[in-house]
Amino acid sequence: MYGLTFQDYEEGHKYTSDNEHITANPTPDVIREPDRTVSPLDNSIREPSKTSKDVRIRPRIPLTMEDFKLRSVLGRGSFGKVLLAKYKNTNKMYALKVMRKADIESSPKLDSLLCEKRVFQAVTNRRYPFLINLFGCFHTQDHIIFAMEYAAGGDLSTLLNNKRRPFPESRAIFFSACVVLGLEFLHEQKIVHRDLKLENIVLDEKGFAKITDFGLCKEGIGYGDTTGSPRGTPHYVAPEVCKGKPYTRAVDWWSFGVVIYVMLSGKFPFESHDLKKLTASIIKGKFICPEFLSRNSTSIIKQLLTKKVKARLGASKKDAQDVKEHPFFEQIDWAALLLKNVRPPFLPDIRGAEDVRNFSSAFTSEYPMLTPPKKRAEIPCYEAEAFLDFNWRVDWN
C-alpha cells in the first residue's frame, strides 16, 4: 500500500537483486536496485500536460513538514511508514510516504527513488484517475517524503481479509476494470509496474480502484522490450521472472491474473510458505480454478496465467485492448469508466475526512510521528546533489 508492504507474509520475501536470483528478504520495504537506463520520461515531466489545465507546477514553493499536521499512522515498513496528514492550507488529507535517507546510501537505491518520482509526475501531470497521484515530494535533513492522494477506502487485501470471503464477481470485475485502465496508462508510457498485487490496489472514497506503489517500476519498456532483473512479490511474479530470464511488460498481466484469482477465490493459484517450493510451483505447477467460478472468470484467469508468454492475454502489441475485449468485461463501458461516469458496486465505509477504519488498527493505534533515524545519512556528494531538485509539487484546484 502506498509503496510499502504492511503484511508480515507477502511475506517477508521479495525478488530483489540482479545478483541474487530469488532472495528471502526479511526487510521487504527496501528500495530495490533499479536497472540503470535513461528514463524516457525525463523530457515529459517538466511541464504539466496541455490537457491538464487544472494542474500547476510550483517548483519554487517547496512543501515542508510544517505544512502538514500528522493525524494517524496508516502503515509501516522496515524503512519507513505511511502517515495520514492534514495539509494546513486547505485541510485536505494526504498520505505521506516517509523514508529515511540513511537507508538510501547507494546510487542504485537513489536511482530507484528518482524513478518513482518520475513515474508519479507522469501520472500526476495527466491526473490519471486509476493511479495514485502525487501532491508533492520534499525532503528534510533525515527523511524523504512523498505526499500522495489519500485513498480512504484502504487496499483490496485488507478489504478481502476483513470480509473473510471472496468478492462477488460483479465487484471483482469492476475493480479489475479499473486496474486494466491503470496498467494501460503505464504501458502506454513504456512503464512496467512489476509489483501489482492486492496490497497495491487501493479504493478512493467513491469506490474506484487505483494502482499505487511505483517503487519497483521500470521505465523504457514498450512492446517487445525486455529487462532482466528479478522484481516483485513471490505469489504474484510470472514464471519467466522466477527463471531469471529476460521478461517483458507481460509480467504485469500475469500478476493481474493472480489478482483476479485471489479476489474471486480468496486464495492464491500457487501457494506455499516455502519460497523454493512456491517458485517451483509457479514455474512448473498447475493451478485449478474453483468450480463455483463462472465460465468467463475461469477463462480470463487461464488466459492470463499462461506460462508461455506469447500466448498470454495482454502480451500482444495490443496490450490492454486484448484484455478489455475479453467476455469477462462484457458489461463494462470503458469510455464511461474512464470518465468515472459509472456507479461502483461497492462503497467503502468512510465516516469523515480523517476516518481510518479501513486500515489496520495495529497501525492506526500508533502515535503519528517521524521516527528519528538511528544514524545520520552519509550520502556521497554526487548523490546528495540529486535532492537539490527533488522538491516538487502541484496545486489541484
For 159-197, the DSSP string reads HHHHHTSPPPHHHHHHHHHHHHHHHHHHHHTTEE-----
Cell numbers representing residue 339 in the block? 470518465
Q: Is 195 a catalytic residue?
A: yes
What is the SS3 assignment for 241?
helix
CA 301 to CA 235: how far, in whole Å?
Answer: 15
Check 67, 103, 155, 195 and give the catalytic one.
195
- How many Cα atoms are found within 13 Å in the side-chain-facing hemisphere of 328? 30
Burial class (CB within 10 angstroms; exposed 0-12, middle 13-18, buried 19+) of 239: buried
**Which bin fits 37, alpha (ψ -120 to 50), beta or left (φ > 0)?**
beta
Report whether 39 contacts 115 (CB < 8 A). Answer: yes
H or E stretch at 55: strand 55-57
What spatial distance separates the first Cα and last Cα of the chain, rounded to whole Å? 26
Catalytic residue ranges: 195
